[in-house]
Structure 1
Amino acid sequence: MKKALFLFIILPILLFADEYKKVTLQLNWLNQFQFAGYYVAKEKGFYKDVGLDVDIKEYTFNTDLVNSIKTKKADFAIGRSSLLIEKAKGEDVVALGAIFQESPLMLLVRKDSHIVSVRDLKDKKIMITPDAAFSASLLAMLSANGLNKNDFTIQRHSFKLDDLISRNTDAMASYLSNEPINLDEKEIKYKIFKPKDYGFDFYSDILFTSNSFIINNPKITKDFYEASIKGWKYAFEHKAETAEIIYKKYNSQNKSYIHLIKEGEILEKLAYANNTDIGDISNKKLQSIFNVFKLFGLVKNDIDIDSFIYDENPHKTMNLEISPAKQKLFFIILFFIIIVFLIVLFILKKNKQLKEQLQTVIDATDDFILYKDNKFRYLGCNKSFEKFVGKKKPEIIGKNDFELFSKEYAKLFRKRDMEAINLNSIQINHECVIYENKKIILQSKVIPFKYKKTKKEGILAICRDITELHEAHEKLKKEAYHDELTNIFNRKAFNERIEEKFDLYYRYKNEFCIAMYDIDDFKYINDTFGHDIGDRVLIDMTKYIKQHIRKTDFIFRVGGEEFVILFPKTLLEEALVVIEKIRVDVSNMNLVENKKVTISIGITQVRENDTPASIYERIDKLMYVSKHEGKNRTSKD
């Protein structure tokens, strides 16, 4: 009997223990927002949803990331673009996805150092890691600006920001998501030099494993990758909650809550850089990175880039936030434009008369059309571009952007041109410029092309004003979450925010209060004084209430004259003081001539076992209690 009872108790436990497959993820640095997506996937149960029990290992200074995969101490790890070097050495590494499309690595200088360009680093001290693979993008940036290793002094990196502050070094290799935040907190002004601005665009934080692991565990690999990406998207959509998770459970560096949020804001931009999605890897971009490693002698043999990329990676190179129908139309138009202008360029070399006729055709378009040689000097353009520059074609031909535009615009245009040449692919960018004394958004398509008998590679650019399309998109985005009349959040926004508050409440017991108010006799106001007066009452009252609640509180219009106020991290008695003052102040406002306008309110605090539906139903009933008991009063529960 005892044995049977033992098996009855123990057997389900053993079965449950085997339910989740244990896997290990090795990080490449200490815990911080840099790895937020993995923490979130673990804490929110995304890994468990696909049957995985994930152990996240923090980096130690003797950790060899590739070897940890090779020796099976870890199933997955986080690496850098230098994994391509390991691949070239014959190591079995496969990149599942690149979390940061743009590397946070850059050079940091004090603003009062009078170093305003990369060239100014000549004869200066630069604190940089001796790892050539890690610092290749920085060295490439210096080299592209005419500096070789003999032109500056390389100091071994101390990883102490005080060395820059106290001027023990002139420039320091740093991360966008770390040192600049610390300087901001110390109110020390600084300047940064990013390799990407000079055409050297590296990936960072590449999630990788081995091909042998993928072959033996295809489902685990796919499930882990997808759950991790889901975690990253959630982390960036809920940065405050994510920062709180890291602050409480993964804060080995003792970073402040605010510092973690700032890290998240910076890293989000890097994750979605170049209009791509989190995790996407481009084989063309990897080839460009590999070419930089070859330039510095870090690799000799070529590799099959495609075999380095996980088969399930989307391989996306562009993500346009427009409808599928418009995307299809866009690509048809883009294809047509490319064909037309390749034909134009071919015919221009053959026949002067046809050249003049075709020039008339391209002059007829409002798009800016231009083409440059391999040194980015202008070979030709159309009338619209002449108007944009403010010069005639003879004054443009043979010049470069730095001779025609402000330094800001010149750097912007040079950056996009270099990307097209380095990646040898069409680059699509969105650029904000001033044209005819107003700010417009240009969508530029930069196309590498061969010209003349030398077959040197220049660029063809077609720029279109998409300001109206962009504004329409932003307007639709705003309308989705805002009430058009009062310009506050709407019911949809309330539904999402209340879900967040409940999630924080059940995880961390973050108390909150919620109040609903309704304008008394609003139908009478509309019927007697007209809808224009009714609308004015809604606008003026909302404006007043919004000014008299905290910035951390939220106000929503959930119905015609019904509104909800959400008080985060607030107890009932505290919220009641605020809401009662609002009720009294509203009754004393002169919103309608010869008519006193009042509101009836219901207010409550979140309770154990509450749901968004139950708390909403409770404040709705409390508000109607106030109505039935004479109006212009507050009912609490």
Structure 2
Amino acid sequence: MGTALLLLRPDAAPVRAPTASAAGTVKLLLDGQYGARFAGELSASRQGYFSSRIEVAAQPEDPEFVQTIARQHAIGVTSGQKFLLASWRGAPVTAFAASFLDTSVAIFTLESSGLRRPADLVGKRVGYRRASEGDVVFDAMMAQLGLPRSQITKVPDRDSFEALRGGQVDAIIAAIDEQPDPSSSTFTKLNVIKPQDYGIHVPGLVYFASNALVHEQPSMIADVLQGLIRGWQFTYADYARSVPVLAGAGPARLNSERLKFELQQLRPLVLPTGGRIGDYDESRWRTLRDILLFAKLGEEDVPLAQTVNYQFLRDVYRRSPDLAAPGAWSEEK
């Protein structure tokens, strides 16, 4: 398991005074590889939207990612599921916003199969990963629709598009941004079933920090949140500007066309119609709690009120109402 570091400083001094303490740099750790999923974080760093000294680091495949954030008194971004389960197990962390306001999980079938709705999957083979976010969300969707999960054959570790194209399964559960783009040699026309279309709304990727950092440096959390919002605005304002910045943000240059395709898939999760960047709501957290309990993945030993903070979002949008204004970034370019 490696950690790639990306320490980025703005070219010009920001107008706002730094809010970091004399302790120096605070880490913002990403639970995954550099890419479209973390475009807001990378844009904020590259464009100098953080007034505090923030060190962005990709830390993929850390099985104790949430605990790592707590130990290092850092800020992190991971799935709502990982965050909530870790907090139930005692990790001293607090969520303060979300990058994906909805889950990125989707169910894919071949267009030629005619499988277009959840009901069509009854009696079929579905590739998945055990105890993953996709597994939990899929089961919750089928249960909510009253469909017989016992009549679906779930095939573990067959959740790749290769398995779907090869006929090993009839459907797969995967992230919306993992699908092949039209320019790919492996592109196949697909049907996409989104849990959101069937009433399942849970936080996708969430921003959180160690309780110590939240309590000792709340002004830094607020500063980072404002920078993240501006980072996502920059990302979606104009792909011609943002994609080249993002393509060169990591240790290895990313493919610009693929990056743009993934950003297009993820946009509705970052900014749903009528929503504000980062601004999760309590109902999504309650739904996530309920489906995790339904899946018997944990016990709610720590109530949501102690692990999820809404005040940072309220304060940032109250102090800077321009952040919520539907400017040029509201239209995809």
User: Would you say same fold, with TM above 0.5?
Assistant: yes
Could you say which residue in structure 2 is the equivalent of 1:85? 85
CA contact (8 A) 2:158 2:169 kept: no
Counterpart-to-counterpart distance in 1, 2:109 and 2:268: 22
1:31 aligns to what SS in structure 2?
Answer: coil
Gaps of 5+ in 1: 1-17, 317-476, 482-637
C-alpha distance in structure 1 between counterparts of 2:186 and 2:290, whole Å: 39
Q: TM-score, normalised by structure 2?
A: 0.80
Alpha-carbon separation, structure 1, partners of 2:267 and 2:251: 19
Task: State yes or no: 1:70 paired with 2:70.
Answer: yes
* Partner residue in 1 for 2:52: 51
Residue identity opposite 2:293 in structure 1: K
What is the distance in 2 between the residues matched to 1:117 and 1:29?
Answer: 30
Inter-partner Cα distance in structure 2 for 1:249 and 1:91: 31
Work out the CA distance in 1 between the residues paired with 2:158 and 2:140: 22
Q: Any residues of structure 2 matched to 1:52-451 within 5 Å, and which? A: 52=53, 54-72=54-72, 75-82=74-81, 83-133=83-133, 135-157=135-157, 160-181=160-181, 186-250=186-250, 252=252, 255-301=254-300, 303-310=302-309, 311-314=311-314
Q: Which blocks of at least 5 consecutive residues in structure 2 are unaligned?
A: 1-20, 317-325, 329-333
Task: For 1:183 and 1:289, locate their aligned partners in 2 and report how far apart those are by CA, in whole Å.
Answer: 35
How big is the shift at 1:105?
Answer: 0.8
Contact 1:37/1:228 (8 A) holds in 2: yes
Which amino acid in 2 is paired with 1:115?
Answer: L
Larger radius of gyration: 1
What residue identity is the alignment partner of 1:194?
A: K
Name the aligned partner's letter for residue 76 of structure 2: A
How big is each residue's C-alpha offset from its partner over 1:555-591, in whole Å with a ceiling of 9 and x where there is no partner?
xxxxxxxxxxxxxxxxxxxxxxxxxxxxxxxxxxxxx
- CA drift of 1:182 comes to 5.7
Spell out, residue by residue over 1:383-421, the C-alpha distance to the aligned partner (whole angstroms, 9 max, x if none).
xxxxxxxxxxxxxxxxxxxxxxxxxxxxxxxxxxxxxxx
Distance in 1, Cα, partners of 2:302 & 2:314: 21
2 CA distance for matches of 1:315 and 1:202? 23
Aligned residue for 1:208, secondary structure, equals: strand
Q: Displacement, 1:40?
A: 1.1
The residue type paired with residue 61 of structure 1 is: E
1:466 corresponding residue in structure 2: none
Structure whose residues are more often helix by fraction:
1
Distance 1:159 1:218 in 2: 41
* Aligned with 2:26 (options 23, 41, 60): 23
Shift of 1:140: 0.9
1:40 partnered with 2:43 = yes
Q: How far off its partner does 1:263 sit?
A: 1.8
Distance across 2 between alignment mates of 1:101 and 1:23: 25
Q: What amino acid is aligned across from residue 292 of structure 2 in structure 1?
A: F
Q: 1:66 to 1:148 in 2, by over 3 A?
A: farther
Shift of 1:315: 9.0
**In 1: Cα distance, 2:35 partner to 2:223 partner:** 24
When residues 101 and 301 of structure 1 are mapped into structure 2, their CA distance, relative to the original with a 3 A threshold, is closer
Change beyond 3 A, Cα 1:205–1:61: same
Q: Paired residues, what number?
A: 298
Q: RCO greater where, 1 or 2, for CA within 8 Å and sep 6 or more?
A: 2
Over residues 91-131 of structure 1, what are the superposed CA-to-partner deviations in whole Å (9 max), with x where a residue is unaligned? 22211101111222111110112323212222322111112
- Residue 283 (structure 1) shift: 1.4
Deviates more, 1:144-153 or 1:60-69: 144-153
Q: Is the 1:281–1:315 Cα contact (8 Å) retained in structure 2?
A: no
Q: Quote the Cα distance in structure 1 between the aligned partners of 2:187 and 2:46.
A: 35
Q: Which amino acid aligns with 1:51?
A: S
RMSD: 2.9
Gap change, CA 1:31 and 1:148, over 3 Å in 2: farther
User: Given the superposition, is the C-alpha separation of residues 213 and 51 from structure 1 closer, same or farther in structure 2, using an over 3 Å criterion?
Assistant: closer
Q: Percent of aligned positions with the same letter in both sequences?
A: 18
Evaluate the alpha carbon distance shift between residue 187 and residue 89 of structure 1 in structure 2; reply closer, same or farther with a 3 A threshold.
Answer: closer
What is the rounded CA distance, in whole Å, between the counterparts of 2:240 and 2:178 in structure 1? 18
Moved over 4 A (4+): 182-187
